[in-house]
């Protein structure tokens, strides 16, 4: 039914993960850094679904659901923290957010 080798999906997942790491290291805006974490989670999800399809088992897709739930919870709390720090420091630059305490 499916003619695409699993390796293609794994390579795409690795490329996306690498781009996420690059964005995480290079970007200076705290919101964009947070978005690059989501990109890495998405890349890992792609690998999970690819393995699930290759093995003919559904465990991988169930794990993807859990990852999505955790990502949603993380996004809510993380964005709350970002709003708080931005309000306290009047800046979204990561280099101005180098102390936990104001």
Partner 1 sequence: MTPQLGIFCVLAALSVLGALSLILQKHPIHSALSLIVVMVSLAGLYLLMGAEFVAAVQIIVYGGAIMVLFVFVIMLLNAGVEEYTNLSKLAGIAGIPLTVALAGFIAAAIGRSGEAVQAAAQTGAVSSTRGISTMLFKDFVYPFELTSVLILVAILGAIVLAQREK
Q: For residues 15 and 29, what is the distance between their CA atoms, to the nearest angstrom?
A: 22
For partner 1, the closer CB: 19 or 100 = 19
What number of chain residues touch partner 1 (CB under 8 A)? 73
Taking the C-alpha atoms of 7, 56, 59 and 24 in order, what is their torsion angle to the nearest 10 degrees? 10
Touching partner 1, residues 63-102 (CB under 8 A): 64-66, 68-77, 79-84, 86, 92-93, 95
The two tokens of residue 6 are: 């699993």
For partner 1, the closer CB: 3 or 101 = 3
Closest separation between CB of residue 48 and partner 1, Å? 9
Told to check if 55 binds partner 1 by CB under 8 A, we report yes
Percentages (nearest 5) of helix, strand, coil residues in the chain: 80, 0, 20
Touching partner 1, residues 6-45 (CB under 8 A): 6-12, 14-23, 25-29, 31-32, 34-36, 38-39, 42, 45
Helix (H, G, I), strand (E, B) or coil at 29: strand
């Amino acid at each position: 039914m499916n003619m695409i080798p699993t390796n293609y999906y794994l390579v795409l997942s690795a490329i996306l993960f690498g781009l996420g790491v690059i964005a995480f290291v290079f970007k200076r805006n705290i919101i964009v850094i947070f978005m690059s974490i989501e990109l890495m989670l998405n890349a890992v999800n792609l690998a999970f679904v690819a393995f699930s399809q290759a093995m003919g088992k559904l465990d991988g897709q169930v794990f993807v659901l859990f990852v999505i739930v955790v990502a949603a919870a993380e996004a809510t709390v993380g964005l709350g923290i970002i709003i708080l720090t931005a309000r306290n420091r009047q800046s979204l630059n990561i280099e101005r957010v180098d102390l936990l305490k104001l």
